[in-house]
Amino acid sequence: MRNFKTVIAAGAAMTMLGLTPAMAQDNYKDEYRVSTVVPAPFPWGIATERWAELTAERTDGRINLKVYPGVQLVQGDQTREFTALRQGVIDMAVGSTINWSPQITELNLFSLPFLMPDYAAMDALTQGPVGEKIFEVVQAKGAVPLAWAENGFREVTNSKVEIRTPADMQGLKLRVVGSPIYNDMFTALGANPTQMSWADAQPALTTGAVDGQENPLTIYSVLKMHELGQTNVTLWGYVADPLIFAVNQQVWDSFTPEDQEILKQAAVDAGAHGIEVARKGMTDGDQSLIEEIKGYGVNVVTLTEEERQAFVDATRDVYDAWKDKVGADLVNMAEESIANR
């Protein structure tokens, strides 16, 4: 009995000191499955791997995140990832705002055509009141958002023509992601948008069944898309694709407050690193990635303000229609944040 009382007293002392007995973590999993679309060396994959590394390091290996790229936990269907996260089929994810937009309409904000003119505008949204509001919406949908990263501004490429005006896009068959706003945008520009997975898109580009696609330059570079016939690139920055680190609600609730804070800070730090990598070589002070792509013999077009405005005007009806779908108040908040950046 005396030994039993000693154990109880020791446990109470540990609690008072803020220490957690090992038995309190018996419900932790040996491995937490993290879903993402692409692996390293893509910036997206690098950010996800960094999250796993920092979490393991800062918890002395108590929390083990295993990354499953290629959205393999949902059979490669990117648009099912958030549903799987919410349902607990996967534990955590670093997900695309585009891919999650079918379940969270507000995430289409980042796909409004030409809303964000530069990186400062993207930061004004994700790091300001708009980002906070988006996180509230994600939380209400059943997942706990922790931090932002990014996949980058999406540029248009094709195998047939230099694109400088909407007229240049007439009849081009372009692979687009699986969100309805992209069909609307490219239809408004006169193109023939085709939604397909990237696994299907690569052979379609190679054979010429599809003329072009839109993706960040980091994706273009790592996949060597110039070898897929994508020898015309237009830098128009029409939309960007922020990424969200998120955890299933039940998984999150299973962690101690101390471990929740470690997991969150690891996501914040990993996201900051991912953003740095995603922007490297594409800023005013460093154009090295763009120069590298030009070195492959690729025709890279940077639109003038007047040329870009023609695309803005051609997609304005799409912007206005989707503003109502996203939520006028949220879009107004975004426009004000960008104006004041």
Q: DSSP of 21-84, one letter per residue? A: -GGGGTTS-S-EEEE-SS-TTSHHHHHHHHHHHHHHHHTTTSS-EEEE-TTGGGTT-GGGHHHH
Q: What is the pLDDT along the chain (341 residues), one digit of tens a residue?
A: 444 344 334 444 434 444 443 444 779 999 999 999 999 999 999 999 999 999 999 999 999 999 999 999 999 889 999 999 999 999 999 999 999 999 999 999 999 999 999 999 999 999 999 999 999 999 999 999 999 999 999 999 999 999 999 999 999 999 998 889 999 999 999 999 999 888 889 999 999 999 999 999 999 999 999 999 999 999 999 999 999 999 999 999 999 999 999 999 999 999 999 999 999 999 999 999 999 999 999 999 999 999 999 999 999 999 999 999 999 999 999 999 999 99
CATH architecture of 29-339: 3-Layer(aba) Sandwich (3.40)
Q: What is the pLDDT of residue 199?
A: 81
Q: What is the pLDDT of residue 321?
A: 98
- Would you list the DSSP string of 210-248? S-EEEE-HHHHHHTTGGGGT--EEEEEEEEEEEEEEEEE
Q: How do strand 212-215 and strand 299-302 relate by DSSP bridges?
A: unpaired
Q: What is the pLDDT of residue 26?
A: 74
Domain regions of the chain by residue span: 29-339
Q: What is the pLDDT of residue 282?
A: 96
Q: What is the pLDDT of residue 198?
A: 81
Q: What is the pLDDT of residue 195?
A: 92
Query: Residue 163's closest CA among 221, 232, 224, 231?
Result: 232
Q: What is the pLDDT of residue 107?
A: 98
Q: What is the pLDDT of residue 16?
A: 41
